[in-house]
Amino acid sequence: MVRSVSNHVARSILSCDTPQPEHDLRTRMLLVVEQFLNGLQFGLLLFLLAAGLTLVFGIMDLVNLAHGSLYMMGAYFAATFVAWTGNFLLGAVLALAATLLLGIVLEFTTLRHLYGRDHLDHVLATFGLILFFNEAVRLIWGPAGLALPLPAWLTVPVAILPGIYYPAYRLAIIVVALVVALLLYLGVMRTRVGMLIRAGASNREMIGALGINIKLLYTLVFGLGAALAGLAGLMQAPILTVQIGMGENILILAFVIIVIGGIGSIRGAFLAAIFVGIIDTMGRAFLPNLLRQMLSSAAASTAAPALSSMLIYLVMAIVLVVRPEGLFPANRRFIRKRAATCSY
Amino acid sequence: MRTAFWLAGATALALAGPAYAGETIKIGFVSTFSGPTAVIGNDMRNSFELALDHLGRKMGGKPVEVIYEDDGQKPDVGKQKTEKLVQSDHVDFIAGYIWSNVLLASLKSAVDSQTFLISANAGPSQLAGELCSPYVFSTSWQNDQTPQAMGLYMNQKGVKSVFLIGPNYAAGKDMLAGVKSTFKGKVVGEEYTVWPSQLDFSAELSKARASGAESVFVFYPGAAGVQFLNQYTQAGLKQQIPLYTAFTIDELSLPLQKENALGVPGAQEWVNDLPNEQNKRFVADYRKKYPNLRPTFYGAQSYDAAQLINSAVVAVGGDTSKKDAMKAAMEKVNFESVRGSFKYGNNHIPIQNFYLQDVVKDADGQLSLKTVATIIKDSQDSFHDKCPMK
């Protein structure tokens, strides 16, 4: 093994692995801007997934591991409906409606029975749902995966600044996610339903005693969370492929985000998602070159991807040590109060 | 009453007969049958089964039993499954192995027990060099060979500079090293991505564009190849920078890559339209037995693995305890390979031709792969000097 590693080193030194050509400052700046956009786009996509998760976790106190499955279902629905209708936007809207409906059905049939229970029961039941959805997809769509092709107007690169070309579709993701974030903020903070949701999170019994149908409210919140996951899935689908288990890796990132952002906080999820997206992308983009200053080229090329994928978890660990409740906890006063009641 | 007793005893003995050691040829087959890359494992199993059909499901007059094991694309699982096949199933041969890291983890268990291992895909450089073994044969290639052929083709096209992108694992490193060893132009950048979890290549694509390279070379097997090509096209790079590939476009990924793959060249030792008779039979019968599916190079190599095992078993008349004689038989390559004829080097890695493949629309209007040219004849891997076997 040692010999073979040194072979690789020797080979890359002997062959034409010359240092990158010197670019002028402008090209470098443009690259940084482009990488920043890449990070922003990735972060906003993660936000859509994390927002649903944090709503369900924070407001309904339900740990939903099957959130990634809803993301996958969104992608599969979109691929199917787009193929049926032949129209990308129409297919996407139908897929969104289908995921919303699926979320409501899921809450009604399964998750409703878990509310009063321990978190471990949630984990067990929703892990079962992951297996169920993976097998269901295998039965319905087969094991090979699907493609979701983009319409021509979304496949062209757009010049956002002179010299910076950016894929139109990734720009569209940024715009859609920002609009959704704004609507979500307005919906939760400025509408009556939003007020009820926040009230339900504070005191379930009290809001029930005041004559509000809390069950219906929870069903709606879960449906909304499912639709957000579905939206993330269907928007990610044309970039990746639609395949079984596609929601499992990305769900881990969504959990990291709600831990960093503070459980139950949409604002926290938004900021933490963008933070994580940018750290991840910038790490991948600039860490290899940084390491090459210190290590041999071959060692740096090997170490950089490993290190950059660890960055996010390092950040999470630091946040957990410094502020265990997350950077922007939903309602700090309330969390303390609840902790106090629990200790009786 | 007594007769009935004897009759029952005789029947029991007769039924138990085939289970005696050595009465069947036992083959273990380790590949990926779960997760996103299960389609590759399925193709390998389909082709291996087809080969057994063609052989009448017998080798050297004895029935063949195949035990398929799923490695889940994980080295530790692959190692466990290999140990199970060797120690509790006592197989005569182990074949399969898509992934270089899985094979490297499993290698010792097979070799230590003196069980023949036939790699039907993975070809890490270590296997061709210092870790070569009399008990290991390959029906594929050494990882560096295919990208080396691609590097030669890029020289022919007069490409001056390249940006390399590949996954950060054993095969990814071999592949990029392979291109570098033959490509005469300048390598302006080299990026490794986290394997297999990283599916978004936006950061790498931005760097490739900013590097000003005249071409991009990638290695992304399985679904990652679909994702890479999608993103390459969406970023507008397909019109901007010509893309060269190894193991990124095949019959499994093509239905998902669609037009994104049109005109993207790849190097391969087997293409579905190679004009030899055994290949025509393989491709035609595969498409008949598995409607709507097309065989890939993974399948072709698995088909050859079954033929190679058969040639060894036939040479010893079914007596699989004669290991030296079986080894000698396999070294002769005494069967008709679907890629055309090849020889074995001292390290049991094929010395073979590599072809240039292109994506075209075929007669049915479907996208398919087509042989365009022979890039290199009788290519031998560059690690055979390090193999102590002579």
Scanning every residue of chain A, which has its alpha carbon at the shortest distance from the alpha carbon of B176?
A12
Give the residue-averaged pLDDT of A154-174.
86
- Over residues B56-71, the pLDDT tens digits come to 999 999 999 999 999 9
Say which residue, A30 or B33, is predicted with more confidence. Answer: B33
Per-chain mean pLDDT for chain B: 91
Band of pLDDT at residue B7, cut at 50, 70 and 90: low
Q: What's the rounded Cα separation, in Å, for the pair B266 and B153?
A: 10
Q: Where are the domains of chain B?
A: 20-141+275-351, 145-268
Band of pLDDT at residue B174, cut at 50, 70 and 90: very high
Q: What is the Rg, in whole angstroms, of the alpha carbon atoms belonging to chain A? A: 22
- Provide the shortest C-alpha distance from residue B371 to chain A (in Å): 25
- Over residues A97-109, the pLDDT tens digits come to 999 999 999 999 9
pTM of the model: 0.83
How far lies A63's CA from each of A115, A127, B74, B373, in Å?
A: 10, 10, 28, 57
Query: Which residues lie across from B31 on neighbouring strands?
Result: B70
Picking from B42, B212, B234, the nearest residue to A167 by CB comes out as: B234
Band of pLDDT at residue A344, cut at 50, 70 and 90: very low
Per-chain mean pLDDT for chain A: 84
Lowest mean pLDDT among A152-156, B231-235, B300-304: A152-156
Asked if A240 is an interface residue toward chain B (Cβ–Cβ < 8 A), one would say yes
Picking from A4, A11, A38, the nearest residue to B126 by CB comes out as: A4
- Over residues A39-64, the pLDDT tens digits come to 999 999 999 999 999 888 877 888 99
Give percent above pLDDT 70 in chain A. Answer: 89
Look at the domain B20-141+275-351 and name its fold. Rossmann fold (3.40.50)
Q: What's the rounded Cα separation, in Å, for the pair A318 and A330?
A: 20
Across the interface, do B181 and A34 touch by the CB < 8 Å criterion? no
Band of pLDDT at residue B6, cut at 50, 70 and 90: low
- Over residues B241-252, the pLDDT tens digits come to 999 999 999 999
Asked if A82 is an interface residue toward chain B (Cβ–Cβ < 8 A), one would say no
Band of pLDDT at residue A23, cut at 50, 70 and 90: low
Give the residue-averaged pLDDT of B117-142.
95
Give the residue-averaged pLDDT of A150-170.
84
Q: Which helix (H) or strand (E) holds B29?
A: strand B25-31
Per CATH, the number for A33-342 is 1.10.3470
- Over residues B265-298, the pLDDT tens digits come to 999 999 999 999 999 999 999 999 999 899 999 9
**What is the 3-state secondary structure of chain A?**
CHHHHHHHHHHHHHCCCCCCCCCCHHHHHHHHHHHHHHHHHHHHHHHHHHHHHHHHHHHHCCCCCCHHHHHHHHHHHHHHHHHHHCCHHHHHHHHHHHHHHHHHHHHHHCHHHHCCCCHHHHHHHHHHHHHHHHHHHHHHHCCCCECCCCCHHHCCEEEEECCEEEEHHHHHHHHHHHHHHHHHHHHHHHCHHHHHHHHHHHCHHHHHHCCCCHHHHHHHHHHHHHHHHHHHHHHHCCCCCECCCHHHHHHHHHHHHHHHHCCCCHHHHHHHHHHHHHHHHHHHHHHHHHHHHHCCHHHHHHHHHHHHHHHHHHHHHHHHHHCCCCCCCCCHHHHHHHHHHHCC
Whether the per-residue pLDDT at B21 is higher than 70: the answer is no
In terms of phi and psi (left: phi > 0; alpha: psi -120 to 50; beta: otherwise), the region of A203 is beta
Do B149 and B371 contact (CB within 8 A), yes or no?
A: no
- Over residues B69-98, the pLDDT tens digits come to 999 999 999 999 999 999 999 999 999 999
Picking from A8, A16, A34, the nearest residue to B187 by CB comes out as: A16
Do B365 and B107 contact (CB within 8 A), yes or no?
A: no
Closest CA to B251 of B278, B219, B227, B283: B283
Whether the per-residue pLDDT at A164 is higher than 80: the answer is no
Give percent above pLDDT 70 in chain B. Answer: 94
Whether the per-residue pLDDT at B156 is higher than 80: the answer is yes
Scanning every residue of chain B, which has its alpha carbon at the shortest distance from the alpha carbon of A168?
B234
Q: What's the rounded Cα separation, in Å, for the pair B282 and B296?
A: 11
Across the interface, do A23 and B187 touch by the CB < 8 Å criterion? no
- Provide the shortest C-alpha distance from residue A316 to chain B (in Å): 19
At A21 the pLDDT is 47
Give the residue-averaged pLDDT of B183-187.
95
- Over residues A293-310, the pLDDT tens digits come to 888 777 887 788 888 888
At B22 the pLDDT is 65
Scanning every residue of chain A, which has its alpha carbon at the shortest distance from the alpha carbon of B187?
A17
Across the interface, do A20 and B211 touch by the CB < 8 Å criterion? yes
Per CATH, the number for B145-268 is 3.40.50.2300
Whether the per-residue pLDDT at B16 is higher than 70: the answer is no
ipTM of the predicted structure?
A: 0.78
Say which residue, A329 or A14, is predicted with more confidence. Answer: A329
Q: Where are the domains of chain A?
A: 33-342
Across the interface, do A239 and B130 touch by the CB < 8 Å criterion? no
Band of pLDDT at residue B4, cut at 50, 70 and 90: low
